[in-house]
Amino acid sequence: MEKQPPLLRVEDRRFLTGQGRFVDDVHLDRMVHAAFVRSPHAHAEIASIDAQGAEQAGALAVLTAGDLPFIEGSLFIPRWHPSVRKVLPKFLATDRVRHVGEPVAVVIAADRYLAEDCAALVNIDYRPMDAVATCEAALAPDAPRIHDAWPGNVAASFVNSAGNADAAMAAAPRRLSRTFHYGRQTGLPLETRGCVADYDSGRNALTLWTSTQVHYAVRQNLSMLLGIPEYDVRVVSEDVGGGFGSKSRVYLEEILIAHASRMLRRPVKWIEDRVESLQATTHSRAFDTTIEIGYDDRGMIAALKERIVVDVGAYVFTSGIVTAEVAASHAMGPYKIPNMTIDVVCVGTNKSPLATYRGSGQPEATFPLECMLDLIAKDLGLPAAEVRHRNLVAPADLPHPVNTSYAGPCSIESGDFPAMLRQATAASGYHERVEQDKAGRRIAWGLALGMESTGFLNYESARVQVDNRGNVLVHSGLTSHGQGQATTLSRVCAKALGIDEGRVSIRLGDTELLPFGRGTFASRGAVVGANAVHGAAIRLRERALACAGQLLQSDPATLTINDGRIERSNGEATSLSLADIARALQPYGQLYGKAAPLDESHIFDTQNKLTFALSVHVAKVALSWRTGEYQVVDYLVVHDTGVMLDETIVEGQIVGAVADGVGGTMLSELIYDEQAQLLIGSLADYLVASAGEAPRVRLDHVRTLPTTNPLGVRGVGEGGIIAVAPAIINALGRAIFPDHLGAEQGLFHLPLKPERVLTVLEQS
Amino acid sequence: MKPCAFEMHRPRELAEALGLLERFGEEARLIAGGQSLVPMMNLRIAEPAVLVDLNAVDGLAGVRRDGDVIRIGAMTRQQSLLDDELIRRHVPLLAEAAQHVGHFATRSRGTIGGSLANADPSSELALATTILGAQFTLRSVARTRVVTAEEFFLDALRTALDPTEILTEVSVATAPDGARVAFHEHARRHGDFAIASAAAMLGPKDGALLIGVGAVGPVPVVCRRIQSAFGKRNFLEELNDLIAAEIAGIEALSDVHTSADYRRKLGAVCLADCVRELLA
């Protein structure tokens, strides 16, 4: 029988019994509450703001831009693509608002109810202006200008190229071109953003509990903008109810709430509500891609040309245009495409700013490419997998260079992609016949490959200590927002040290634990964070064995640690345990003063090398010809995670990401009207996959070892989502046009509503 | 997402509840299961100054048989419509409809009376009661009156209820033994508001067909053309035309997710599926 992974993760008992500590669980003495006044207009001038009514109704403070000493300052920008025309939002709008949900004022009151009452009484005289609701409208010659610094409403533009795409395209015997729309979506964490700020005026020190993926970046910005030394700013994000990339940056609200706490000398809490969250937490996707591929009669791709238009919204936020950069850097997927030109234009509109959401540009790049490969296969009468095999990077091609604008030159240095594709088609039962089920629905399979670049952003830090009972405490610079870091890290530490996992306690999400770190995003937890813990634990083990060698008068090389006890390499027991060594190193102990205590820190630095992870997705879809409704009835992912640190965690990441991707393919969209009003205001409108829509996902693993990190792991947070849309849409394309090129173009629109599918069916 | 301040009353007797409505008039809102009203209040779309909570009122919940009629108290939870033996046996269409109402959690709190009085165009219970010719008892301090479901639903979110009235009871004739029912619905996800739905009941042997379509227009529609053509020669051949005629008569709704045209198409599919299922 197949071995079942353990049901519960280390953190599950706490979560399932309601003992998590999320921001809203923080209750402090004298704490007051904030509500934001946000623009109801997509584009308007602010003629005046009158807060008198709110103050009379009991507001403790009403903050507007003029009240902020740091209003001329700016959030710290880690890196921006050089083409970005830099316009960050002000902390609060000064004279103009540029999207629905832009904050104009903060109201502080004794409780949240009163704060909302008072917020409604802040009287803002808006002079509405013409709004820009689409990229097309934004690029029109007479379009209203969003920023002076954005001529033609272009926020950034760049070209990524290799070889000579024009010449190769012209020379290609066959060419196909299509357009793809990826709607505006968002990460939608179950726990919205929120923070509690507690400023201590006696010490000029600040503690901020916040729901973030990047606590160190939040600390850096608070310190810089509020003028408090970094050591006196503590940022805590202990339990975070989901991030999905939408919390991987500092936000204005965190600075404002901290400022309010300092001003009022009281703790201040702000919990973003769902309406706010849909407006003010960064959005993502929003790509329009025109793609052309030149290939020969055998299906060998000679040239790839894309024009990508990204709807970046009203500002370029602190993450810059990273999704556009990632999409352009990975436009070729796992294939050998010698000539390409990727022409990217980031267009400003009166919508919420764009940033990352799980996959961060990789789903956006994979959707057009993988759908085109199916069209090429149909055009040539070849199996879809065969066209991919002919172009795939094979082990003999490694290392295969990948030039990225965001992480510099990298390479695919390991992996066996052809083996994964073969395994996926064999294990899934994939075939290209179209069948019918009892309900008369058409059944067809589709496949797609997705490349995930993991372990982004150079380093992470960790510290491992042993107490005199042999218990081990791990500090990590990561955060945990659903990944189960405690489960993974305790396993990594236990294995490296030679102790039982139950002996390990994990602490993370608190800047006080370690002097610096990064956080959890970009599928970096295992690649960067776990390797930091591993490095510290390995060093600690060496130190412990050196001490054991002294105590036992043996060569440390002949000793090992097993279940917390020192053993000889031949398996013979000794009288020593890890606890004995920890005690010997303490004052009055035998080794005190002769060696440092069992306390090791380690920084793992990737030197910006990305670790690539391929996944192959195979979807079986049932399509109703009468309604255009479709259902994913079977799903298989073949993934290469390298060494699997914890099977439950890996599988949870992939299955969860597939469900996320199914929602993104079928349901999720932030819909704006032609005045750039956001029409989506609740989870009754912003639809994500629920248990009924998410398929049962079968998983299969191929294991090759990356050389980028000592543990031999690849990141796994995003591979489950990257290729979902093209796998499903290729299956629909197969169901509707089984063996010839047809009107698939109508399907290349995400989310793909049944209504749109029905239109394609009616035309076919 | 916090509601405005409001005054809350929790009467134990119906007379007391009616008296509060008389006293506060349009300032007051009744709250039953709260599954629609509470989110509206949190979004401050609804800002009632007074809430009259019906949850503690004696005698408003429960299902009983009264001769050929099943009487359902307005505060009966939607989940009870699925679980109650009398409903399952004698009003099977209502039990079938209730399966499509929200989710277990919302059905456990939401009530039949609350759902009907809210009169959402997509309400499955509104559709089922309309087709079944259910009678609604509306009470105020001054009077008690009985209206049919069809008379009750005036428009989207608008009913025959006066601000001083409470819907206290829904009564439905028991279905003949051997009656068969069908309910078909399409929504974006299971448990979401319907894009279109249809419900039907077929009496045993040569019995009559009751059929209607919901969610397409502002109120449920009884499909009388189909009902009267049923049993006649060529019924099946003419069915598509009959359905098309019924659908054409509805002013279909559209929203941010769904066009009116698509609602009509799905309404037709639901009607056809109901008929086919009952004739199978």
- How far is A82 from B120, CA to CA, in rounded Å? 52
Q: Name the interface residues of B facing A (CB cutoff 8 Å).
A: 1-5, 39, 43-44, 186, 188-193, 256-259, 262, 265-266, 269
Cβ(B84)–Cβ(B70) below 8 Å: no
The predicted-structure confidence for A250-301, as pLDDT tens digits, reads as follows 999 999 999 999 999 999 999 999 999 999 999 999 999 999 999 999 999 9
Best of B100, B184, B189, B259 to substitute, by most chain A Cβ atoms within 10 angstroms, is B189
For residue A629, give how far its alpha carbon lies from the nearest alpha carbon of chain B (Å).
9
| Whether pLDDT at A2 is above 70 | no
**What would the two tokens of residue B222 be?**
């009884």
pLDDT level of residue A457 (50, 70, 90 thresholds): confident
Helix axes A754-763, A724-736, angle to 10 degrees: 30
Q: Name the interface residues of A facing B (CB cutoff 8 Å).
A: 112-113, 116-117, 120, 273-275, 626-627, 629, 667, 671, 679-682, 684-685, 687, 689-690, 692-693, 753-755, 758
CA atoms within 13 A on the CB side of B81: 33
Cβ(A47)–Cβ(A125) below 8 Å: yes
Bridge partners of A107, per DSSP, are A35, A62
pLDDT level of residue A347 (50, 70, 90 thresholds): very high
User: B266 to chain A: which residues are within 8 Å by CB?
Assistant: 627
Write the burial class of residue A696 (CB in 10 Å: 0-12 exposed, 13-18 middle, 19+ buried). exposed
Cβ(A591)–Cβ(A547) below 8 Å: yes
Contact B190 A690 (CB under 8 A): yes
| Whether pLDDT at A84 is above 80 | yes
Contact A685 B43 (CB under 8 A): no
User: A626 to chain B: which residues are within 8 Å by CB?
Assistant: 269
pLDDT level of residue B207 (50, 70, 90 thresholds): confident
The predicted-structure confidence for A230-247, as pLDDT tens digits, reads as follows 999 999 999 999 999 999
Cβ(B93)–Cβ(B128) below 8 Å: yes
Q: Say how many residues make up chain B.
A: 280
Beta strands in chain B (DSSP E): 7-9, 28-31, 50-53, 63-66, 69-73, 135-139, 144-148, 153-155, 158-159, 166-173, 180-187, 194-202, 209-214, 221-222
3-class SS at B50?
A: strand
Of B2, B256, B269, the CB nearest to A679: B256
- How far is A255 from B79, CA to CA, in rounded Å? 47
Average pLDDT over residues B84-100: 97
Helix axes A485-497, A647-666, angle to 10 degrees: 150
Best of A107, A112, A114, A116 to substitute, by most chain B Cβ atoms within 10 angstroms, is A116
Using alpha carbons, list the distances in angstroms from residue B22 to A79, A117, B16: 65, 28, 10
The predicted-structure confidence for A133-160, as pLDDT tens digits, reads as follows 999 999 999 999 999 999 999 999 999 9
Contact A755 B2 (CB under 8 A): no
The predicted-structure confidence for A711-732, as pLDDT tens digits, reads as follows 999 999 999 999 999 999 999 9
Contact A755 B43 (CB under 8 A): no
Best of B47, B262, B263, B264 to substitute, by most chain A Cβ atoms within 10 angstroms, is B262
| A233-236 and A205-210 strand pairing | parallel
The predicted-structure confidence for B122-160, as pLDDT tens digits, reads as follows 999 999 999 999 999 999 999 999 999 999 999 999 999
Using alpha carbons, list the distances in angstroms from residue A470 to A473, A486, A577: 10, 18, 8
**What would the two tokens of residue A115 be?**
């704060």
Task: Return the pLDDT at A118.
Answer: 98
| Whether pLDDT at B240 is above 80 | yes
| Whether pLDDT at A357 is above 90 | yes
Q: What is the mean pLDDT of chain B?
A: 97
**Which segment of A70-79, A390-399, A623-632 scores lowest on mean pLDDT?**
A70-79
**What would the two tokens of residue A63 be?**
């903050």
Cβ(A360)–Cβ(A406) below 8 Å: no
Of A112, A629, A690, the CB nearest to B2: A112
- How far is A88 from A97, CA to CA, in rounded Å? 13
**Residue A574 backbone phi and psi in degrees, to 5:** -120, 175
The predicted-structure confidence for B171-186, as pLDDT tens digits, reads as follows 999 999 999 999 999 9
> Looking at the whole model, is its pTM more than 0.80?
yes
The predicted-structure confidence for B59-74, as pLDDT tens digits, reads as follows 999 999 999 999 999 9
Helix axes A322-329, A362-380, angle to 10 degrees: 30
The predicted-structure confidence for A369-407, as pLDDT tens digits, reads as follows 999 999 999 999 999 999 999 999 999 999 999 999 999
Contact A685 B256 (CB under 8 A): yes
- How far is A409 from A402, CA to CA, in rounded Å? 6
| Whether pLDDT at A221 is above 60 | yes
Task: Return the pLDDT at A1.
Answer: 43
User: B39 to chain A: which residues are within 8 Å by CB?
Assistant: 682
Helix axes A754-763, B260-279, angle to 10 degrees: 80
The predicted-structure confidence for A514-550, as pLDDT tens digits, reads as follows 999 999 999 999 999 999 999 999 999 999 999 999 9
Residue of chain A nearest B188, judged by CA positions: A667
pLDDT level of residue A6 (50, 70, 90 thresholds): low
CB pairs under 8 A between A and B: 52
Contact B189 A120 (CB under 8 A): no
Q: What is the mean pLDDT of chain A?
A: 96
Q: What residue type is B8 in one-letter code?
A: M
Task: Return the pLDDT at B280.
Answer: 85
Task: Return the pLDDT at B1.
Answer: 87
Q: Say how many residues make up chain A.
A: 764
CA atoms within 13 A on the CB side of A729: 36
Residue of chain A nearest B194, judged by CA positions: A684
Residues A414-437: b if buried by 16+ CB within 10 A, e if exposed: bbbbbebbbbbbeebebebebeee
Q: How many CB atoms lie within 10 A of CB A574?
A: 15
| Whether pLDDT at A93 is above 60 | yes
For residue B184, give how far its alpha carbon lies from the nearest alpha carbon of chain A (Å).
13
Of B2, B259, B269, the CB nearest to A627: B269
The predicted-structure confidence for A657-708, as pLDDT tens digits, reads as follows 999 999 999 999 999 999 999 999 999 999 999 998 999 999 999 999 999 9
| Whether pLDDT at B266 is above 90 | yes
For residue B6, give how far its alpha carbon lies from the nearest alpha carbon of chain A (Å).
11
Residue of chain A nearest B264, judged by CA positions: A627
Cβ(B131)–Cβ(B199) below 8 Å: yes
- How far is A533 from A474, CA to CA, in rounded Å? 7
Average pLDDT over residues A558-564: 97
Q: How many CB atoms lie within 10 A of CB A701?
A: 18
pLDDT level of residue A448 (50, 70, 90 thresholds): very high
User: A627 to chain B: which residues are within 8 Å by CB?
Assistant: 186, 265-266, 269
| Whether pLDDT at A43 is above 70 | yes
Among A214, A181, A650, A186, residue whose Cα is nearest residue A452: A650
Write the burial class of residue B204 (CB in 10 Å: 0-12 exposed, 13-18 middle, 19+ buried). exposed
**Residue A611 backbone phi and psi in degrees, to 5:** -110, 120
Among B211, B221, B217, B272, residue whose Cα is nearest residue B244: B272
- Rounded to the nearest 10°, the torsion over CA A719, A720, A724, A726 is 20
User: A120 to chain B: which residues are within 8 Å by CB?
Assistant: 44
Using alpha carbons, list the distances in angstroms from residue A42 to A123, A126, A139: 17, 11, 17
Task: Return the pLDDT at B205.
Answer: 76
Determine the Cα angle at A732 with ends A730 and A735, to 5°.
Answer: 110
Bridge partners of A372, per DSSP, are none
| Whether pLDDT at B50 is above 90 | yes
Residue of chain B nearest A275, judged by CA positions: B1
Best of B2, B99, B243 to substitute, by most chain A Cβ atoms within 10 angstroms, is B2
Percent of chain B with pLDDT over 90: 96
Residue of chain B nearest A276, judged by CA positions: B1
Of A113, A626, A755, the CB nearest to B258: A755
The predicted-structure confidence for A13-28, as pLDDT tens digits, reads as follows 999 999 999 999 999 9
Residue of chain B nearest A277, judged by CA positions: B1
Cβ(A598)–Cβ(A711) below 8 Å: no
CA atoms within 13 A on the CB side of A555: 3
Tell me the ipTM for this assembly: 0.95
| Whether pLDDT at A204 is above 60 | yes
Of B39, B188, B191, the CB nearest to A667: B188
First and final CA of chain A: distance in angstroms? 47
Among B54, B53, B37, residue whose Cα is nearest residue B45: B37
- How far is A415 from A642, CA to CA, in rounded Å? 9
User: B257 to chain A: which residues are within 8 Å by CB?
Assistant: 685, 687, 753
